[in-house]
Amino acid sequence: MSIVYDKASGLISLHTRRSTYQMKADELGFLLHVHYGGRLADADDLSGQLCLVDRGLCGNPYECGRDRREYSLDVLPQEYPCFGTGDFRTAALHVRSADGSRAAQLRFAGCRTEKGKYALEGLPALYGDEAEAESLIVTLRDPASALEVELQYGVLEDLDVICRSARIVNRGDGPVVLEKAASFCLDWPFGKFDWLTFHGRHAMERNMTRQGLRHGVQSVGCARGASSHQYNPFSILCAPDATETAGECWGACFVYSGEFLMEAELDQVDQTRLVCSIHPDDFAWTLAPGESFQTPEAILAYSDRGLGGLSRVFHRAIREHICRGPWRDRRRPVLLNDWEATYFDFTGDKLVSIAQKAAELGMELFVMDDGWFGRREDDNGGLGDWYPNEEKLGCTLRELAGRINALGLDFGIWFEPEAVSEDSGLYKTHPDWAVRVPGRDPCLARNQLVLDFSRRDVQDHIIGELSGILAGAPISYVKWDMNRSICDKFTASLPPERQGEFAHRYVLGLYRVLEELTAAFPQVLFEGCSGGGGRFDAGMLYYTPQIWCSDNTDPINRLDIQYGTSFCYPACTMGSHVSAAPNHQTGRTTPLSTRGCVAMAGCFGYELDVTRLSPAEQAEVRGQIACFRQYADLIRLGDHYRLRAPEEGCAVWEFAAPDGSEALVQAVYTRVEANPVPVHIRVRGLRPDSRYRVEPAGPVPAGDGAPDRGWSPLPAVLSGAALERSGLTLPPPRREHQSWQIHIRLCP
């Protein structure tokens, strides 16, 4: 059994293949966190290791009386600590009662188990059937206020993950206001840790930072309306000596696309606490008697096999139990997006001419990006008027899609449904639908406002508009964009005292719109986007199985972006394109072969004017597409190994078949030096006793000044043991930003 409850002792153990999560309801009714780490036996009770010492100025529960009993919530590890009743550390729950008091003290009131993974109404969550998952519901109750919290735990034993969420119910007679409602709290009574977080900015997202925890509270989060370019809702705590291949690591992935806060605290006695919640600075939720509030879910995982082992747990969880629909298990089409080829300067005939060349080169999907609707001639207006500009296109949308289909290509389209321009007909008809504070001029970004997705009428309007377009033309792909942060937060649909609910209700509205559209058009591949990677999170992946990784298509910058993204998210979720050189964002010139190599480590596509390619470049593109098709399943389903970080001068990564039958190693030199030091790597995930042929993968570069690649430094045949224990030495670079792709396959 994955969930074991010993009623006599109060011990609860949650088991996965390699981990155990343990908690205990003690004699005073407090639910203490005991262990999350390596797998234990059912009879192992680690609560005896908790150090009960009389700490100065640490309060004691009233039941202790004059005998302080060396018992204080201020130093005990807890499952769901509350503010205001003796624990002065970072709290999971802040509540304001009708009388203005801000205290709660939750006691254990029972638990139950359920087959299958619990689901969350209106929120994305990891899913699992009765054969894959089991759920535990623990009820905690505050005797003084009748506030009740249901802690929800989903255990997927084979997947090696545990999910957590909380449902908060007002069982009292008066209203209460939730000022902070965390999805989980994790306490470690012992140990030193490094904290890995992922920061960034537009066009440079998810840069990994690793630092040792210091005393006090450290946090990352976002109050921009979306999970943001600046901080990703994923973090790792690990042993200071943890590497890619060894050491203990704990990861937390917040399945939420809105404002969030992750807090790590090292307390006075060197205990560590990690708490994750909707960002409390912009949150206040009123619960009338009988009402409940559901927090978003978090996915937790533990690995004693290093950072790489932890990442592969999350990759499988997201790929198989977050992503849904027909596209979850299908190779994504090789696409051409017209954005960097044309920007706003196009006609229908121009698009068709580009699409015709794309079809000749072997591409499968043509995507018409921004500029096809309303009076949209630049990014300063037109948003909200979702009707085709037939004068610009020279035909109807259905006719244009038909012309593209006749070339043998599927047809895709770009939307930014969450935004509105002041010059649009939608804004002029419904100015109250825009998010803005009454009596104040709004803050503009890209000269656009945000539609109030917290309102049901706005949601219904967008569902209707987009449904009409998707039903009216043969569209097989949608790029869903969102190009600004949300400020001036106010909604006319809520009274003044409930404006703190707006940010979360906006996200709930977005999820409803996405759920309705993806259910109505299951054949359509939806790709998420928010100025590139500004909303790259597991919540969006529940609706859109891939996300445009970044607006930055420079392959050298993309090495860093995709490297950081890979710590949580699998390659099959990362939209990645080959663009022109010099690159439009950085001005850097890189070989076409390197641009292809980097883009193949994701959802492969192109974003350039293919009609301007030379014959040699066209031949190389054909070869790249054939190469991607050959290795697409290996990249999509393979175990991902980070062999060398971009900062080390040569970025190297690998996709290995789960059965060890083959591997694809990809490498890009980020700098060239005279008399270079050899780059040596150890290949992972192979069968030690089998023999493998090592050979170049992909087309030979042509037309970009590439010298003969020369493969003589690499051996032809080696055992799996030799490739892992001794490894391979890569050929040295002969020019800036040279790349290598190496296919390793079982010998016949």
Taking all residues of the chain, what is their mean pLDDT, rounded to a whole number? 95
Crossing angle, helix 348-361 and helix 615-637, to 10 degrees? 70
Stated as kind and residue range, the H or E segment containing 571 is none
Enumerate residues 6+ apart whose C-beta is below 8 A from 191: 239, 272
pLDDT category, 1, cuts 50, 70, 90? confident
Q: Which pLDDT tens digit goes with each residue over 506-543?
A: 999 999 999 999 999 999 999 999 999 999 999 999 99
> Which pLDDT score is estimated for 48?
84
Q: Which pLDDT tens digit goes with each residue over 66-118?
A: 565 678 899 999 999 999 989 999 999 999 999 999 999 999 999 999 999 99
Distance CA 575, CA 524 (A): 16
> Which pLDDT score is estimated for 571?
98
Distance CA 455, CA 108 (A): 37
Backbone φ and ψ of 685, nearest 5°: 80, 15
Q: Which pLDDT tens digit goes with each residue over 170-182?
A: 999 999 999 999 9
DSSP string, 277-327: EE-GGG--EEE-TT-EEEPPEEEEEEESBHHHHHHHHHHHHHHHHT--STT
> Which pLDDT score is estimated for 700?
58
Among residues 131, 150, 128, 130, which one has the least CA distance to residue 140?
A: 150
Distance CA 594, CA 581 (A): 11
For the record, the structure tokens of 3 come out as 């969930």
Stated as kind and residue range, the H or E segment containing 599 is helix 592-600
pLDDT(698) > 80: no
pLDDT(707) > 90: no
pLDDT(736) > 60: yes
Distance CA 123, CA 114 (A): 19
pLDDT(259) > 90: yes
Q: Which pLDDT tens digit goes with each residue over 636-694?
A: 999 999 999 999 999 999 999 999 999 999 999 999 989 989 999 999 999 999 999 99
List, as own/partner pairs, every contact residues 707-711 make where C-beta atoms lie below 8 angstroms and the sequence separation is at least 24, other chains included.
707/734, 707/735, 709/740
At 595 the three-state DSSP class reads: helix
Distance CA 596, CA 613 (A): 14
> Which pLDDT score is estimated for 71?
85
pLDDT(713) > 60: no
3-state helix/strand/coil string of 621-666:
HHHHHHHHHHHHHHHHHCEEEEEECHHHCEEEEEEECCCCCEEEEE
Q: Which pLDDT tens digit goes with each residue over 408-432?
A: 999 999 999 999 999 999 999 999 9
Distance CA 635, CA 570 (A): 9
Enumerate residues 6+ apart whose C-beta is below 8 A from 323: 541, 542, 545, 573
Burial code of 485-516, b = ≥16 C-beta within 10 A, e = fewer?
bbebbbbebbeeeeebbbbbbbbbbbbbbbeb
Distance CA 304, CA 246 (A): 6
% the chain with pLDDT above 70: 97
Q: Which pLDDT tens digit goes with each residue over 297-308?
A: 999 999 999 999
Q: How many CB atoms lie within 10 A of CB 655?
A: 23
Enumerate residues 6+ apart whose C-beta is below 8 A from 125: 117, 118, 119, 154, 163, 165, 255, 297, 542
DSSP string, 388-402: B-HHHHSS-HHHHHH
Distance CA 606, CA 553 (A): 10
> Which residues are the active-site residues?
537, 617
> Which pLDDT score is estimated for 49?
83
Say which range, 11-25, 136-150, 707-721, has the weakest mean pLDDT: 707-721
Amino acid, res. 174 = G
pLDDT(708) > 50: no
> Which pLDDT score is estimated for 57?
78
Among residues 295, 84, 25, 73, which one has the least CA distance to residue 183?
A: 295
Distance CA 638, CA 744 (A): 13
Domains of the chain (ranges, CATH numbers): 3-321 (2.70.98.60)
Stronger pLDDT, 663 or 703, i.e. the higher one: 663
> What is the chain's Cα-based Rg?
27
pLDDT(365) > 90: yes
Q: How many CB atoms lie within 10 A of CB 539?
A: 29
pLDDT(577) > 90: yes
Q: Which pLDDT tens digit goes with each residue over 14-27?
A: 999 999 999 999 99
pLDDT(715) > 70: no
